[in-house]
Amino acid sequence: MSYGDDDSKRKRRLAIIGVSSMLLVAMVVAVTVGVGLNNSGDDKLNDSSHKSTSQVSASMKAVKAICQPTDYRKTCEENLQKAAGNTTDPKDLIKIAFKIAEKQINEAAKKSKLLEELSKDPRTRGALQSCKELMNMSVGELKQSLDKVTDFDLSEIETMVADVKTWLSASITYQETCLDGFENTTTDAGKKMKKGMKLAMELSANLLDIVSGLSSAIPSLESFTHRRLLQDDLPVLGHGEQFPEWTDIGTRRLLAAPVSKIKADIVVAKDGSGDFTTITAALAHVPIKRKKAFVLHIKEGVYQEYLEIRMDNLVVIGDGREKTRITGNKNFVDGINTFRTSTVAVLGDNFVAKNIGFENNAGAIKHQAVALRVSADYAVFYNCSMDGHQDTLYTHAKRQFYRDCSISGTIDFVFGDASVVFQNCKFLVRKPLENQQCIVTAQGRKMRRQPSAIVIQNSTFTAHPDLFPERKIFKSYLGRPWKEYSRTIIMESFIDDLIQPDGWLPWLGTFGLKTCWYTEFNNYGPGSSKKLRVKWNGIKTINRQHAMDFTPARFLKGDSWIKATGIPYTPFLPRHLLCPAIPPLLPFATVAVAAIAGTEKLSRNAAVNTITHRPQILTLPAIYSSSRMRGVAVLYSFLRYIAV
């Protein structure tokens, strides 16, 4: 399968690319807003002053049209009119809007540098240093978005909109992360930065609103562009010919091959049998920009290193998530802001990790301590583990996919504002400190039009062995709203009895309870009943059709990049619902819940508790096993299948 186009397709794309940008910005005005620029009487005005007035009026109309779908309309209109002069060209106005936002973010970066020089508080200085980096990252996302908006293939407008929304969302997230860094600082620098960034944040949000408004215009183009569906062999927009050559048969097979068959570009081995003994030294020899995947094999061992991976198209393969482990212990209590505590930070796009363990072993007493932070687009983690306590996995921004992974922690141990899907993963709740509660997710969507969410599909929520004996003593919850528009979807997953009946926990008072978006669909297990769940306005009920929107094929457009890696991947919901009701005609059903088989011994009582919401099952055998009970699970799946 190739991502390149043949000559005829390429010529067609070149032929329309010149008009693509103008049609896009015209849609902002004509389709999304529904108003046009009416200059029909201008030709009759010979007086130069009247012409000037007419131009200003036309420019104001154009500005109002561009700003119409924004949440901060006054901010949009005032700043755009001031910078636009007599400009009426929507394309130019879009560019100006981006440049205004970029300028304001750069001003915030300068302010952070000035405040850093004045600050004597170490934690404040650390937060300001992070702000400088985050502002640069934010500007980078704006520039990438502007390049794409003003120069793209019209036949791929749907994918373009998804890309630009992702990047603009990341730009907003980075700004918010800057402000998050001032938690528990002893100076007023945080307040000053928040005030200084207010305009930048509003302008960035407005850009997202403008691009989001294009979604309603996309169907109107189908008749004259003959746009193909995303399932076709189109490249991922934003990468095009630069998308890594996963189609290289050797690379795809490598991801499915046993460790002994790996042919890597660089091998890391602590015993000296590879090219380098440390991962840090190996990364120094990895190209920053490369079209083809670069493979790094990390042999068995515990690597006590702190890594920041900025290389695109990097594939990292270990010998097993319990064998190849990268560990650190940076933490909040020792004076480091959460953003900087990560053992491993991934920023390079098209990153793939397989058979690796990421760990922060600072312990619960050290509070926030990140094992893995991911700010990369098109990041894939397969058969990996992320272990820690508070804030273990920071799914920071952009598009990510996790398959067959294990994540352990105590408080908010999966958090961030990425568009992320976890499939066939295990969430292990660990024992917290005394008087603490455990929360699995804390999604951080700040703006209502950000495309981000935490989606958990066909996974397991259960107790870590260190919590299991006391799982009824310490309360555990599925999640809480970290930011105002927090969004989390849990579907087709096993929820064990450690999860409280109310399911979800407030962040602080009533914050986010009306604006969050939380839903559970077709889950099963003793903690899955929704009868006693909280009744917030933000708790939603969805049907199967709506749930399909959060599958990786739709939510992440995964067929165009996840499938290409060759790792296991289920694009949609299964044909049959995961846990259909078994009718009374099947009284002697052998039932086992494979999801928890790997973490505890299943007695007859435990099995009964697992299906208390299905009283029509009359008898159950006693099941004792510490294995995964694959055979029984297959039987259970068969019974579910024939019961439909």
CATH code, domain carrying 266: 2.160.20.10
Residues 105, 252 share a domain: no
Give the residue ranges of the chain where pLDDT is below 50: 1-5, 8, 11-23, 26-46, 49, 51, 222-243, 247, 577-644
pLDDT attached to residue 227: 41
**Helices marked H in 367-487:** none
pLDDT attached to residue 216: 58
Query: Is 412 annotated in the active site?
Result: yes
Q: In what order do the strands lie in the sheet with 372-374?
A: 307-309, 344-346, 372-374, 393-395, 411-416, 438-443, 476-479
Residues 257, 321 share a domain: yes
Residues 178, 290 share a domain: no
Residues 375, 269 share a domain: yes
pLDDT attached to residue 117: 82
DSSP reduced 3-state for 642? helix
- Residue 235 inside a domain? The answer is no
pLDDT attached to residue 16: 43
- Neighbouring residues of 445: CB distance < 8 A, sequence distance ≥ 6: 417, 452, 453, 483, 484, 485, 486, 487
- Residue 509 inside a domain? The answer is yes
Q: What is the largest CA-CA distance in the chain?
A: 95
Full residue range of the structural domain in which residue 607 is found: 594-643
pLDDT attached to residue 255: 74
pLDDT attached to residue 253: 65
Residues 299, 212 share a domain: no
- Residue 609 inside a domain? The answer is yes
pLDDT attached to residue 215: 62
Per annotation, catalytic residue among 153, 319, 391, 412: 412
Residues 255, 168 share a domain: no
pLDDT attached to residue 91: 83
pLDDT attached to residue 186: 87
What is the rounded CA–CA span in Å between residue 465 and residue 430?
8
- Residue 236 inside a domain? The answer is no
pLDDT attached to residue 256: 73
- Residue 233 inside a domain? The answer is no
Residue identified by tokens 């005032």 is 78
Q: Crossing angle of helices 73-84/189-212, nearest 10°?
A: 80
Residues 440, 494 share a domain: yes
- Are residues 318 and 365 in contact, defined by beta-carbon separation less than 8 angstroms? no
pTM, whole model, 2 decimals? 0.83
